[in-house]
Amino acid sequence: MWSFFHKLGSPPWLYRISGSILRWLLPLTLLGLALGMTWGLFFTAPDFRQGNSYRIIYIHVPAAVVALAGYYVMATAGAVSLIWKMKMADVALRAAAPVGAALTFVALLTGAIWGKPTWGTWWVWDARITSMLILLFLYLGVIALYEAYDNKEAAGKACAVLSLVGTVNIPIIYKSVDWWYSLHQPASIKFTGPSSIDPSMLYPLLLLIISFYALFTCCLLMNMRVGILQREARTKWVRKLVGL
Amino acid sequence: MYFDSFQAAMAMDGHGVFVWSAYGISVLVLALLLLRPWRQERRVLRELATQWKRSNQPPRGTNHSQANSGLSREGSDAPGS
């Protein structure tokens, strides 16, 4: 157990293991995304009330779910790098931010496009949408904050603190559709009790949620590999890797 | 297959513009998300290779003999270049 954590802190090990994970996870992810999107676009029946516009759900929900989960990853990495001063946690924090930002952007954008034919408007300042916008700004804030510092160690610390403070937003996003009256519908998939979504629509959605999780993992690992190389640029193992 | 024809799948009963633009932009963003680190990694590796060829300094945190014993190719390449 502890030796595993010890290895996690080792850049060469992390670089090597991420390479071998990506070799099979990346093709699987692309396959899952392609299958899920084709399934959702062409092989499901339209929603009885929303018609075909509901097909946006197959991107919107997975992107939103993983954008939120990505924030946990980032904040956890921030906590680990603050408490144990683990260098690789700092690398992970920086690797997660752009992926989370992109997924939040996709969730907001597909939501806006979906809102137009369904609600009659691109945008409303309701609780769910506003708190998701704050999530986007938190991700972008972490990226900008890191760039703002010349001292990268101080930058990492500041980003970790910001990401931890930002976690207050996460339960607000989850609960926003229950706490406030909203145009946004509450969750259709429940782990406790039956889901209010038909199985024929649920299966492609689940496939895409899993694929988006896998996509996040792939992007996180790929970004971390870049971060590791930049951080370890002057070490012996990277020199060996380059073949010098 | 739910749709009867390609045209029907494109139109989606008037929702085609929304559905296809949402999917199109999302796929583009996801593709960029994957391509960016892939290209960055290759660029960093390339830059490091050229950097080290120019300045032939020993790596940090290791002594000379250790560095050379680990890199058999370096010894044979160095005198010639």
Residue B52: which of A53, A106, A242 has the nearest Cβ? Answer: A242
Check CB contact under 8 Å for A52 and B23.
no
Global pTM?
0.86
What is the secondary structure of A74-108 as a DSSP string? HHHHHHHHHHS--HHHHHHHHHHHHHHHHHHHHHH
Residue A57 falls inside a structural domain: yes
A2 in any annotated domain: no
Q: What is the ipTM of this complex?
A: 0.88
Which tokens in the block code for residue B28?
Answer: 């583009």
| For residues A2-20, average pLDDT | 84
pLDDT band at A19 (very low <50, low <70, confident <90, very high): very high
d(CA B18, CA A57): 12
Chain A residues within an 8 Å CB radius of B22: 56, 59-60, 109-110, 113-114
Q: How many domains does chain A have?
A: 1
Interface test with B, best of A52, A99, A110, A213 (most B CBs within 10 A): A52
Q: Which domain holds residue A21?
A: 17-241
Does A10 fall in a domain? no
Mutate to test the interface with A, among B15, B21, B38, B46 (most CBs of A within 10 A): B15
Taking an 8 Å cut-off on Cβ atoms, the answer to whether A244 and B52 are in contact is: yes
Are B44 and A52 a contacting pair at CB < 8 A? no
Q: Is residue A11 part of a domain?
A: no
Q: Is the pLDDT of residue B69 over 70?
A: no
Of A66-70, A165-169, B34-38, B74-78, least confident by mean pLDDT is B74-78
Whether A5 maps to a domain, the answer reads no
